[in-house]
A and B are shown apart, each in its own frame.
Chain A
């Protein structure tokens, strides 16, 4: 009975969330936040990949912005300089970024912990230097503009209103796919790896292969998000893909809860709202606040803020139920 009730509530909650998401970009509702929501959607996609990587395999990546940037730059260069269809460019970008992740995956996962973190940090910075210095392709530090928009047939995604639905379609698709992975045999294997690598190996899980697969998946997510990012802004420069960007992605994953796919929306949302709406008027205080958040969350709730909040919520509902009050 309780389980059925719970699932009924869950469906209601999901339906309400969907209705809310669909209504947001209309002017009479929260139309002024359409652009913000587009960025939240894009960063949720990257964060979901990072959550899978960090939360389920226990591996840290301090260079996730590199994959994000690879997707963005490949899309931008192919569609603008070479006139490739943007959808095809997006696909090629995802394949290339995934292939790159696969190639670096095996050597880099021979490292663990501190050394892996440094290696990913180094990789991220190398890519950032390339974005900046290969100016004949990338436009250098000034970037490049005039990137064509995405379109289906004659329907061009040329307004924020239209792009909102495009981005969130991708975002929800990515979250559903991730959720299915987590709940599958592969997800259980990943949790086993996080728990104890040697034990996982001993029951026949190919640890390295799983780690590389998840790295590739997270890279493809980041690449997709990067493509959406440039076709939304129609402009690209190296700045959104620097070291700080990688750290901000880690902040999103940490706030969202490292082992929680739906927390990704919460992490990306809270971080973007904090950056774009609340802290903007205080200059660059956002970086300082992020540093503080990272330290505090890791000291007091290393499993992530969202996970802790959900626990709290569940405890509260349990407490109400015990008193005979149905929510």
Chain B
């Protein structure tokens, strides 16, 4: 592998890794506050992409308002999902909650396919299609937008969680919901905020991804799984860990495909990520079981 090829694979790995990181952030936030794994997390990315495309092409909105509206819509759908599907099921078991979020996921997906579009959609690049040369590699400028967005979102999230009242309340609720409710933090409100945040971050992932890769209404499952892998590598412990997990997965996935031999070809790219998922889950199973008991 030449150094130019190496850089090429590395950058595309970081790019897809950034998207997984954004999805992984959503998983981590919701899990920390509610101990729910939201199987619909990938759908928010899909919604971000599809809604912005619909507003831009069919609604004729300029690109920036279309993007912002798409992110807000994803956040609103996240809120609706929590209020309509999660909150009414107060004492549901883990299995029930899994089935509920899956039900919500295929419901959202079905509506998106029916009401938005069944085609693969692609937004125009934010800053031209001209690729940039970097250390001998050709970089799509949209890739830089994706990486940059991920970095900015992570920093803002970090500041939000550590330096604002609401953010600190979220963290408190994640650490100990009973104790935090004693000091006036309402866990239900916090759960709602977590869903809105996670959905908005997913939506952001969708709008920055849509100019680089065509997105269809079915994209949510795979994006969700990979985001879950990202969060699982990070152990659902902190946003930064989820980001690191996402980047790691993206890079591993791209270099595995670069081997281009046997099962290591682009046809099996998704399968590689899934094998990573299984390995991580099984290796960490002891610790995960402990957490589940404690949580």
B92 near A299 with CB under 8 A, answer: yes
A298 near B89 with CB under 8 A, answer: yes
Judge if B93 is at the interface, Cβ distance under 8 Å: yes
The smallest beta-carbon distance between B129 and chain A, in angstroms, is 30
- Interface size in chain B (residues, C-beta < 8 A): 47
B277 near A122 with CB under 8 A, answer: yes
Q: Which residues of A contact B110 (CB under 8 A)?
A: 284-285, 287-288, 291
A60 near B89 with CB under 8 A, answer: no
The smallest beta-carbon distance between B252 and chain A, in angstroms, is 15
Judge if A121 is at the interface, Cβ distance under 8 Å: yes
Judge if A113 is at the interface, Cβ distance under 8 Å: yes
- Interface size in chain A (residues, C-beta < 8 A): 43
Main secondary structure of the interface of B (DSSP, over half): helix
Judge if A10 is at the interface, Cβ distance under 8 Å: no
A125 near B274 with CB under 8 A, answer: yes
A284 to B97, CA, bound (A): 25
A54 to B98, CA, bound (A): 12
The smallest beta-carbon distance between A64 and chain B, in angstroms, is 13
Chain B: CB-nearest residue to A290 = B106
Judge if A254 is at the interface, Cβ distance under 8 Å: yes
Among B50-58, B67-75, B152-160, B278-286, the one that faces the other chain is: B278-286
A225 to B249, CA, bound (A): 36
A287 to B282, CA, bound (A): 32
Among A72-80, A84-92, A243-251, A312-320, the one that faces the other chain is: A243-251
Give residues of chain B (64-110) contacting chain A, Cβ–Cβ below 8 Å. Answer: 84-85, 88-89, 92-100, 102-110
Q: Please list the residues of chain B having a beta carbon within 8 angstroms of any beta carbon in chain A.
A: 37, 39, 84-85, 88-89, 92-100, 102-111, 113-114, 221-222, 225, 228, 232, 267-268, 270-271, 274-275, 277-278, 281-282, 285-286, 288-289, 292
Q: Please list the residues of chain A having a beta carbon within 8 angstroms of any beta carbon in chain B.
A: 54, 58-60, 62, 107-108, 110-115, 117-119, 121-123, 125-126, 129-130, 133, 243-244, 247, 250, 254, 283-285, 287-288, 290-295, 298-299, 302
Assuming A288-B110, A288-B114, A291-B104, what are 4 further A-B pairs, CB within 8 angstroms? Answer: A119-B281, A247-B106, A290-B106, A292-B107
